[in-house]
Amino acid sequence: MRLFGHRPTVLAWIGILIVSAFIAVAILAPWIAPYSESESVSETWADMSTQYPLGTDNIGRDILSRLIFGARMTIGIALATTLLSFTIGTTLGFAAAAFGRAVDQILSRIVDVVLSVPVLVWALILLQGANGSIVALVLTLAGLDSTRVFRLARAVATNLVAMDFVEVARLRGEGLGWIMFREILPNALPPMITEFGLRFCFNFLFLASLSFLGFGIQPPFADWGSMVRESGGGINQGVVAALWPALAIALMTIGVNLIVDWVLSINARPSGASAEL
């Protein structure tokens, strides 16, 4: 079977399988979850059983059901963040390349300052007053992440702006909007698509870390990062409840990374191995 004219490797198939399974779970959550996401159904930290396939968490909620509902929250928010971050980052990056020096200098210096401090520090400070608002969370993370998208989009677009077909469009009298989205965007797509996968992985892990530290998605919503936080105390007694959501996060990221790795290998140039005759 071929996808977009290329035959996926075994590893790529594993990635596609993992990611589509998680997305299906996220969409079908209310129909396949055995219990609700916020209801305590048993005593604390019940063992795995046929009734509770993965056991229960620190206040007796069914872990499997929370994992299933958490898929919606965690994957959905990471996806929304990445989409928003790409919209902001690409538009500004193309603008910096197309509008000329002044805009480029201003935007680039702002991005330099933002990137000179660890993104976790910004996020912790900005989310301080967010009070668990999901909109504030998505806006903050997308804003911070768009700086990295900006750098790539600007670099790609700077090369494209110098091409003849852009010059022709300018001479034809097209506006900047046309040049950015009809001339530059289609040609910049291949590197941007792989970057999308990588940024999604980063945002997904980062969101999980923030929730784990207590600054991401707040209860009563089920979310994989905060599930780890809630049940983490049991680890020292050998209770594995916190491991399931952590495993789900790891699997999802591995899945996306396997797909990205495959897409990258399609575009990769042959290396020095070919010189070895």
Partner 1 sequence: MFRLIATRVILGLITLLAVCILLFLLIANLGYDAASAVLGQGATPDALVVYRHELGLDRPTYVRLWEWLSNLAHGSLGTSLTNQRDVLTTLTPRLSRSLFLAGFAAFIAVPLAVGLGILAAINEGKWPDRLANIVSLATISLPEFFVGYVLILLLALNLSAYVVQYQWVIDAFGENFKLFTSDAIYSSDMPLLDKLHNVALPAFALTMLVTAHILRTTRSALLSVMSQPYIEMAFLKGLSRARVILVHALPNAAAPIISVIALNLAYLIVGVVVIETVFNYHGVGEFMVDGVGKADAPVVLGCALVFATAFISLNTLADVLAILVNPRLRHPR
Sites of contact with partner 1 (CB under 8 A): 11, 112-113, 116-118, 120-121, 124-126, 128-129, 131, 201, 205, 208-209, 212-215, 225, 228, 232, 235-236, 238, 240, 242-243, 246-247, 249-250, 253-254, 256-258, 261, 269-273, 275-277
β-pair partners for 61: 40
- Select 89 or 255, whichever has its Cβ closest to partner 1: 255
- Select 48 or 213, whichever has its Cβ closest to partner 1: 213
- Select 50 or 271, whichever has its Cβ closest to partner 1: 271
Q: 3-state class of 3 per DSSP?
A: strand
- Non-local CB neighbours of 259 within 8 Å, separated by 6+ positions: 12, 15, 16, 19, 197
Minimum distance, C-beta of residue 132 to partner 1, in the bound complex (Å): 12
Give the C-alpha separation, 218 to 196, whole Å.
26
Q: Which helix (H) or strand (E) holds 109?
A: helix 101-115
Minimum distance, C-beta of residue 69 to partner 1, in the bound complex (Å): 19
- Select 40 or 257, whichever has its Cβ closest to partner 1: 257
Minimum distance, C-beta of residue 62 to partner 1, in the bound complex (Å): 20
Q: How far apart are the first and last CA of the chain?
A: 32
- Select 184 or 239, whichever has its Cβ closest to partner 1: 239
Minimum distance, C-beta of residue 112 to partner 1, in the bound complex (Å): 7
Minimum distance, C-beta of residue 4 to partner 1, in the bound complex (Å): 21
Helices (H), 162-214: 164-172, 176-178, 185-213
Give the C-alpha separation, 259 to 170, whole Å.
37
β-pair partners for 3: 6
Minimum distance, C-beta of residue 107 to partner 1, in the bound complex (Å): 16
Give the C-alpha separation, 52 to 61, whole Å.
9
- Select 83 or 126, whichever has its Cβ closest to partner 1: 126
